[in-house]
Structure 1
Amino acid sequence: MARALGWDVTVVTTLEPAFPLGILDGLEVRAAPGTVARYENRYDARGNRTQRLLAPGSDLYLVPHLSPGEAFDLVFYAPAYHEFRKAPLRFRGALVGVSLQGALRSTDGEGRVIANPRPLEAARALVRPGWCAFLSEEDTAAPEALAAALATGRTLVVLTRGYNGATLFELDGSSTSYPALPAEASEPTGAGDCFAMAFMVRLAETDSVDQAMRFALAAGALAVEAPGLAGIANRAAIEERMTREAA
Structure 2
Amino acid sequence: MTIPHFISIGHITHDLVGNGITPGGPALYSTCAARNLGISVGMITSFSRPLLQPGLLQGIDIRCQESQKTTTFANLYNEHGERRQIIESVADRITSTLIPPEWRAVSIVNICPVANEYLPEIVRLFDKALIGICPQGWMRRWDSKGQVFRKKWENFKEVLPYADIVFFSEEDVSDPKKAVETYLPYTKMVIVTQGKLGASIYSHNGVHRSPAFPTIEVDPTGAGDVFATAFLIRYFETHDVPESARFANCVASFVVEKEGIYGIPGLDDVKRRLNVAR
Deviation string, structure 1 residues 12-31 (Cα, Å, up to 9, x no partner): 11121x22464322211111
- Name the counterpart of 2:113: 79
CA contact (8 A) 1:95 1:131 kept: yes
* Moved segments of 4+, more than 4 Å: none
| Distance across 1 between alignment mates of 2:138 and 2:188 | 16
Structure 2 unaligned residues grouped into runs of 5+:
1-32
CA contact (8 A) 2:65 2:98 kept: no
Equivalent residues in 2 for 1:217-236, closer than 5 Å? 217-236=249-268
The worse-fitting range, judged by mean Cα deviation, of 211-220 and 105-114 is 105-114
Cα deviation for residue 165 of structure 1 reads 1.1
CA contact (8 A) 1:164 1:180 kept: yes
For residues 139 and 57 of structure 1, do their structure 2 counterparts lie closer, same or farther at Cα, with a shift above 3 Å needed? farther
Cα deviation for residue 202 of structure 1 reads 0.7
- Name the counterpart of 1:242: 274
| Distance across 1 between alignment mates of 2:92 and 2:188 | 27
- Name the counterpart of 1:202: 234
- Name the counterpart of 1:19: 50
Structure richer in helix, relative to its length: 2
Deviation string, structure 1 residues 187-213 (Cα, Å, up to 9, x no partner): 111111111111111111112122111
3-state secondary structure, aligned to 1:39: strand
Query: Which TM-score applies when normalising by structure 1?
Result: 0.90
For residues 11 and 130 of structure 1, do their structure 2 counterparts lie closer, same or farther at Cα, with a shift above 3 Å needed? closer
Cα deviation for residue 136 of structure 1 reads 0.3
| Distance across 2 between alignment mates of 1:98 and 1:140 | 15
3-state secondary structure, aligned to 1:244: helix
Cα deviation for residue 39 of structure 1 reads 0.7
Deviation string, structure 1 residues 48-79 (Cα, Å, up to 9, x no partner): 21111112332211234313575211111111
Cα deviation for residue 85 of structure 1 reads 2.8
Q: Find the partner of 2:170 among 137, 149, 170.
A: 137
Query: Which TM-score applies when normalising by structure 2?
Result: 0.81
| Distance across 2 between alignment mates of 1:132 and 1:173 | 14
For residues 90 and 128 of structure 1, do their structure 2 counterparts lie closer, same or farther at Cα, with a shift above 3 Å needed? farther
Q: Specify which structure has the bigger relative contact order, considering alpha-carbon pairs within 8 angstroms and separated by 6 or more residues.
A: 2
Q: Find the partner of 1:147 among 180, 183, 191.
A: 180
3-state secondary structure, aligned to 1:127: helix
3-state secondary structure, aligned to 1:111: coil
Letter in 1 for 2:170: E
Cα deviation for residue 47 of structure 1 reads 1.6
Residue 71 (structure 2) pairs with residue 58 (structure 1) = no
Cα deviation for residue 130 of structure 1 reads 4.5
Count of matched residue pairs: 242
3-state secondary structure, aligned to 2:38: coil
CA RMSD of aligned residues (A): 1.9
